[in-house]
Homo-oligomer: A and B are copies of this chain.
Amino acid sequence: MWETKKTRRTIRKYQERPVEASLLDELLDVAARASNTGNMQLYSVVVTRTDEGKARLAPAHFNQPMVAEAPVVLTFCADANRFVRWAACREAEAGFDNLQTFMAATIDAMLYAQNFADAAEEAGLGLCFLGTTCYNADQIIEALRLPRLVVPILTATVGYPADPLPDQPERLPLRAIVHEERYEDYTPERIDDLYAAKEALEANQEFVRINNKKTLAQVFTDLRYTKANNERFSDVLMETLKRQGFIK
């Protein structure tokens, strides 16, 4: 059971074979059966297939090659605009320009995105989710012409996987992410136990060496997700949430 889920891995290299439009439509439709807030479906997805469209998006994703190379790029957006426009047409005034609505819409968009990903992988497609979307939400808003009350949250590049498939990365043991009844905070001893297998992996040790760091954690804190970048892009995102009307 759960064979697709158990064997999945992120796919960054794709065959040239296009994704059939009818298949993509069916996947996008099936995905909408995911739960959402009050059945308001506070999300939208922008489908990019053209070279021009991908070229417009690529800089926002730091020109990672899969944006240009994937047959399809999907931008999953938190979207309160459609609902508010419906309300305006129906003698109703929606008070949806606030943080709670942004969170509800983000949750809706992410449940939809994951349901899409799972359905797509069952159909033999491969995906890569790009976390750069929240970093450069302002640029994506401009590239996709997203109106007020719409914010891009996550992007997926989609296509048929090229051979060879990448290795499946490790995950922390289940006891690292599950808490029984109440949150049990992590002691140094428990951290050692939970991260031992991850740190012992040859691939991760190599990652430390080639980056000239002492520990695997340093690769993340000093190179991949630095405080300076996190704070800079947090400021951009906060400004973007204000401009899009979700925060006063």
Residues of chain A whose beta carbon lies under 8 Å from any beta carbon of chain B: 1-2, 5-6, 8, 10, 25, 28-35, 37-41, 43-50, 53, 77, 81-83, 85-87, 89-96, 98-101, 103-104, 106-107, 110-111, 113-115, 117-119, 122-123, 127-129, 131, 134-135, 144-147, 150, 153-154, 169-172, 174, 176-183, 185-186, 188, 191-192, 194-195, 214-218, 220-222, 224-228, 230-231, 233-234, 237-238
- Nearest CB of chain B from residue A88's CB, rounded to whole Å: 8
A174 CB, nearest partner CB in chain B, Å: 5
State the Cβ distance, A92 to closest chain B Cβ, in Å.
4
Which 5 pairs across A and B sit closest by C-beta, in order of nearness? Answer: A95-B227, A110-B110, A114-B114, A92-B217, A90-B217
Cα distance A224–B37 in the bound complex, in angstroms: 11
Complex contacts, A100 vs chain B, CB 8 Å? 134-135, 230-231, 233-234, 237
Q: Are A131 and B107 in contact (CB under 8 A)?
A: yes
User: Do A110 and B99 touch (CB < 8 A)?
Assistant: no
- Report yes or no: B114 in contact with A145, Cβ–Cβ below 8 A: no
The answer to whether B110 touches A191, judged by C-beta atoms less than 8 angstroms apart, is no
CB within 8 Å for A178 and B44 given contacts A114-B114, A191-B86: yes
Whether B234 lies near A98 (C-beta < 8 A) is yes
**Closest B residue by C-beta to A218:** B92
Distance in angstroms from A86 CB to nearest chain B CB is: 5
Task: Compute how far the CA of A218 lies from the CA of B87 in the bound complex, rounded to whole angstroms.
Answer: 7
Report B-chain residues with C-beta under 8 Å of the C-beta of A194: 82, 86
The 26 listed contacts between A and B (C-beta, < 8 Å) are A2-B30, A5-B33, A5-B115, A25-B174, A39-B171, A41-B176, A41-B177, A44-B179, A45-B177, A46-B178, A85-B191, A86-B191, A87-B217, A87-B221, A89-B217, A91-B214, A92-B218, A95-B230, A96-B230, A98-B231, A99-B237, A100-B233, A101-B230, A106-B110, A115-B118, A145-B183
